[in-house]
Structure 1
Amino acid sequence: MRGSVMGTAVTLAAGALLTAAMTTASANPPATAAKADTPRPVLVDCFWRQNVRPADFILACGDGNSRLAGLRWSQWSPDEATATGVNLVNDCKPNCAAGRFHGYPVTVRLDEPRPWKKNPGVQHYTRMSLTYEDARPEGFQQVMTYPLWN
């Protein structure tokens, strides 16, 4: 008998604590809840798909000779997104079919979100900047900025 009384007391106490926690949580929602309602912009890829924090991204849609790989996103906000990764670029020597891909460590920054023409209710980043740490592809500046397709 003593065991069932103790079990009932524990169950009632746990229920009371759970009810109190739920009441407090619903009365005072966390500050992050308001931010969660803010839609995050997307990155539109070559196939017109929406991406959030992609691990890889093709930059040269026509031939695939430049792409980002191993992206690790440290930020993805309504204003901008930032990642580090590698830009894999084909040297196209002696031609692109016979060329070799070389990897260049890079920091990626996305910004200037705007409504997406395909779906105006969705914000998408419209500009990408690549900052090369040291080495970079021949003819590239240390910071390369590109408009992104709409």
Structure 2
Amino acid sequence: MGRNPMRAAVTLCAAAALAVPLSTASAAPSAPSAARTQQTQDPVLVDCSGQPQIGPDAYVLACGDANSRLVSLRWFRWDPQAAVGRGTNAVNDCDPYCAAGAFHSYPVTVRLDQPTAAGQGTGRPHFTRITLTYTDGRPDGSPRTVSYPLPG
């Protein structure tokens, strides 16, 4: 114990007192890892390059030329059955042709649904349909609500 046994005893007691909260804190991460595990079970949105995404802030709808894309996405639901969010559909009017066209923005509500079972395509469940509902204006000739199949 050295030259000062009282100091050594106080140091040991302090170390023991600190160890109790640390051991409790080290057990706490099991809850977040359980949440992470659940999140990995939620379906993903597969992008044009085949990469899985959860809650992206942008998404290209027209994979061939990117003339229609979703931007400024904010998701308020993402679970095993569906994902729902809001954003803007930026659409090229292709007038007089796509390379010279202008992009126009339309606010939309976005819904992803019809998830697959795990193991198909990406090895994870993924949504197979996207539905856009235009909330203020829409591209010429487009219905207020439109659905598309998703890659996967």
TM range (shorter): 0.7 to 0.9
Query: Tell me, which stretches of 5 or more residues in structure 1 are unaligned?
Result: none
Q: 2:121 aligns with which of 118, 122, 138?
A: 118
Distance in 2 (CA, whole Å) between partners of 1:7 and 1:88 is 64
Structure 2 residue runs of 5 or longer lacking an equivalent are none
- Cα distance change of structure 1 residues 129 and 90 upon mapping to structure 2, 3 Å threshold: same
Q: Choose which of 95, 109, 112 in structure 2 pairs with 1:107.
A: 109
Closer, same or farther: CA 70–5 of 1 in aligned 2, 3 Å: same
Normalized against structure 1, the TM-score is what? 0.81
- 1:100 deviation in Å? 0.4
Map of 1:8-19 to 2, 5 A cutoff?
Answer: 8-19=12-23
Give 3-state SS (helix, strand or coil) of 1:146's partner.
strand
Structure 2 SS opposite 1:75: strand
Identity %: 45
CA contact (8 A) 2:74 2:87 kept: yes
Comparing 29-38 with 133-142, which one deviates more in the overlay?
29-38
More helix by share: 2
Q: Kindly state the Cα deviation for residue 99 of structure 1 after the two structures are TM-superposed.
A: 1.0
- Gap change, CA 1:128 and 1:9, over 3 Å in 2: same
| RMSD (CA atoms) | 2.7
Deviating above 6 A after TM superposition, structure 1's stretches of 4 or more consecutive aligned residues are none
Q: Secondary structure at 2:56's aligned position in 1?
A: coil
Q: TM-score, normalised by structure 2?
A: 0.80
Task: Identify, as 1 or 2, the structure richer in strand.
Answer: 1
